[in-house]
Structure 1
Amino acid sequence: MDQYEKIKQGEKGAWLSIATYLTLTALKLGGGYYFASGALVADGFNNLTDIVASLAVLIGLRISQKPPDKDHPYGHFRAETIAALIASFIMATVGIQVLITAVGALWADAEAAPALSSAWIALFSAVVMLSVYYYNRRLAKRINNQALMAASKDNLSDALVSTGAAIGIIGAQFGLPWLDPVAAIAVGCIICKTAWEIFYSSTHALTDGFDEKELTTLRATIERTKGVKSIKDIKARVHGSNVLVDVIVQVDPELTLIESHVICDEIEHRMERKHNIMSVHVHVEPHELKPAKFELNVE
């Protein structure tokens, strides 16, 4: 399966998220307003933004499948990252709005506790989202798709949000009506936290940031390749769900061009087998430069 087929597989997870969010949004908003649960309504609005975020991921996956062209010689893989960045802004906006509404409700006059039925809706939603999380997480690992992995983390946060909403609603049944808006505040905080994490990872990738520990691991793999004397320099960057590596290795200066080329091929094969990295640019230099001898004839 090549990288374009893997991205196509990732669309299944995005479509599953969209379909699930559409169903749960209608269920939570309807149940939240009917049973007078601020936490459930906030959770419903959270899922509403997740629909937009999942659509952005889906569009990013579609664009990233376009083959390289004159203006994009490396392909369109970063469309996934841009889509995730857009989704983070949408999530942050709604998260802030949920917090403002919840804080206002906390200081308002106490209202009747929401019906216990709203708690069962929240718990049901948590179980559903947890199932979607496990599906998308397994799929993202299998196809090595970072955008889908980010979506799965959003699925997990939604499961936790629904669980928190259920706790707040159940607590309100025991004479603690303020616990429901407090749960709504927790929902808003989780939305904002998830938005920040997606924003940070997206901007880090778009500015060619790369995890230092992972770079050390890649370096160790190359150093253990037979024929490599040392590594002069190594760089890596994320391009959508792909990793691009540039490395300068030093080898025995007595090797022929063909022998040096064999070492380069072995480095590429090891990076693919061990780290699933398909794009590695290897530059070879002699390990020891022997100074040339010049004879000056003076007549």
Structure 2
Amino acid sequence: MIFITLDLVKRTQASQKVTLMGAVVDLLLAVFKIIAGFIGNSGALIADGIHSFSDLLSDGLILYATKHSALDADEEHPYGHKRFETVATLGLAIILAIIGLSVIFNAMTRLANPYSLSHSSLLLSIGTLSIFSKEALYWYTLKVANTYKSDLLKANAWHHRSDALSSIVVLIGIFGSLNGYPYLDSIAAIVVGLMVIYIAWKLGLDATKELVDTSIDAQQVTQLKHALGKISGVNSVHSLRTRKIGHTISCDVHVQVDPFLSVSEGHIISVSVERVAKKCLKDLSDVTVHIDVEDDEINAPYEALPERAQALEILTKALFNNEYDDEVSRIQLHYLEGKIYVDFYLPLKCLQPDNSADKILVKLQETVNKLKGFGKIKIYFSQD
């Protein structure tokens, strides 16, 4: 638990550091672009500046999400707070979509009445500065995202890359407008708006998939099922379900074992299943293992059968009526094939010349056969 906590602290600190650095750069670029855009009469550069201001919003969301996603589980959030990142990503997607639409609307208005640009050196310098600074942020953020397996930081890294690409489009539009094609500036702004909307769609789709518990990659599921099936004591694997929770994976699985194993041996097998599953999937943090004696996807549930307390009461009464209640020392039940199989444990002193094991077995089986819902029996003899 201590190592997990330390990893979360490092992850949070690294995420906040790279996000704060990006926020400072985004703020400076937004101010420079908008001021330069107004001075040089470039709608494309103003749109790109608004885009940079939207990055500040995303940086704020990321700082909030990384801080809260690292919190431990509590009563209200028993599975932890990792999906704060997912919700923040979805919120970022919505904000970007709104900004992209507004940029396109303004650009189309300017396209009908194009303006001549001025201060060409200033416009070109700011555009070039934006390209190089955002590309540098992309590589730095992506490195941190890959190190700590953060989809939110990875999304923000690609957001930086989209800014660099949009700045290239803006630079081309400005250059074309300065060379006698004034409408290119507005077209560049429309392209930037479309790119922002595309990024919003991609981020929103991925976040929505996670929020509706979409399974992980099918190939990973197949590999996991194969690995679990090779564990000693596991007869088959079924009902394997996975989902993403933030940067981690959660799964639950049913494993079928020998129906006559002890409870403790079944537990040991479940421990092995959890260990192998986490070894197979590096990001797997939570595993729920159901030990089954039969494939419960095929066999009907046992709703009509009496539970243990009631079943023992029925058996005890039947044994008393047949004068066997004093001889049976322990009863073990097995719910199999829609019936209750019974193991009777008797002391060795029950075996007499006129009362062999076969006679005892026949008499007990006759007793059980009269009971509804009960099936085969076994008898065991032991020292007192």
| Residue number in structure 1 paired with 2:272 | 266
Q: Name the aligned partner's letter for residue 89 of structure 1.
A: I
* Higher-Rg member (1/2): 2
The answer on whether the counterparts of 1:230 and 1:287 sit within 8 Å (CA) in structure 2 is no
Higher helix share: 1
Moved more, 241-250 or 10-19: 10-19
The answer on whether the counterparts of 1:57 and 1:83 sit within 8 Å (CA) in structure 2 is yes
Alignment counterpart, residue 221 of structure 2, candidates 209, 215, 224: 215
The answer on whether the counterparts of 2:42 and 2:117 sit within 8 Å (CA) in structure 1 is no
The answer on whether the counterparts of 2:104 and 2:193 sit within 8 Å (CA) in structure 1 is yes
Distance in 2 (alpha carbons) for counterparts of 1:42 and 1:103: 12
Residue 232 (1) aligns with residue 302 (2): no
What's the CA shift for 1:185? 0.4
Distance in 2 (alpha carbons) for counterparts of 1:46 and 1:207: 29
| Residue number in structure 2 paired with 1:296 | 366
Runs of at least 5 residues in structure 2 that lack an aligned partner in the other structure: 296-334, 343-363, 371-384
TM-score by length of 1: 0.89
Which runs of structure 2 are paired with 1:118-197 in the superposition (5 Å)? Answer: 118-197=123-202
Residue 243 (1) aligns with residue 249 (2): yes
TM-score by length of 2: 0.71
The answer on whether the counterparts of 2:29 and 2:49 sit within 8 Å (CA) in structure 1 is yes
What's the CA shift for 1:194? 1.0
Q: Which runs of 4+ in 1 moved over 6 A?
A: none
The answer on whether the counterparts of 1:92 and 1:192 sit within 8 Å (CA) in structure 2 is yes
The answer on whether the counterparts of 2:37 and 2:46 sit within 8 Å (CA) in structure 1 is yes
Higher strand share: 2
Q: Name the aligned partner's letter for residue 295 of structure 1.
A: Q
Distance in 2 (alpha carbons) for counterparts of 1:28 and 1:109: 19
Alignment counterpart, residue 8 of structure 2, candidates 4, 11, 29: 4
Aligned residue pair count:
299
Cα distance change on mapping 1:179 and 1:278 into 2, 3 Å: same
Distance in 2 (alpha carbons) for counterparts of 1:75 and 1:240: 10
Residue 280 (1) aligns with residue 282 (2): no
Alignment counterpart, residue 107 of structure 1, candidates 112, 125, 133: 112
What's the CA shift for 1:284? 1.9
Moved more, 53-62 or 209-218: 209-218
The answer on whether the counterparts of 2:42 and 2:174 sit within 8 Å (CA) in structure 1 is yes
Distance in 2 (alpha carbons) for counterparts of 1:15 and 1:74: 28
What's the CA shift for 1:255? 4.8
Distance in 1 (alpha carbons) for counterparts of 2:232 and 2:15: 36
| Residue number in structure 2 paired with 1:50 | 55
Cα distance change on mapping 1:221 and 1:26 into 2, 3 Å: farther
Distance in 2 (alpha carbons) for counterparts of 1:63 and 1:93: 26
| Residue number in structure 2 paired with 1:67 | 72
Cα distance change on mapping 1:216 and 1:164 into 2, 3 Å: farther
Q: Deviations over 1:123-154 (max 9, x none)?
A: 22122111111111121111112221221121
Cα distance change on mapping 1:236 and 1:126 into 2, 3 Å: same
What's the CA shift for 1:81? 1.3
The answer on whether the counterparts of 1:172 and 1:180 sit within 8 Å (CA) in structure 2 is yes
User: Aligned to 1:66, what secondary structure does the other structure show?
Assistant: coil
Distance in 2 (alpha carbons) for counterparts of 1:167 and 1:224: 58
**Once superposed, what is the RMSD of the aligned Cα atoms?**
2.6
| Residue number in structure 2 paired with 1:199 | 204
What's the CA shift for 1:220? 3.6
Q: Name the aligned partner's letter for residue 146 of structure 1.
A: D
Moved more, 71-80 or 210-219: 210-219
The answer on whether the counterparts of 2:216 and 2:244 sit within 8 Å (CA) in structure 1 is no
Runs of at least 5 residues in structure 1 that lack an aligned partner in the other structure: none
The answer on whether the counterparts of 1:57 and 1:80 sit within 8 Å (CA) in structure 2 is yes
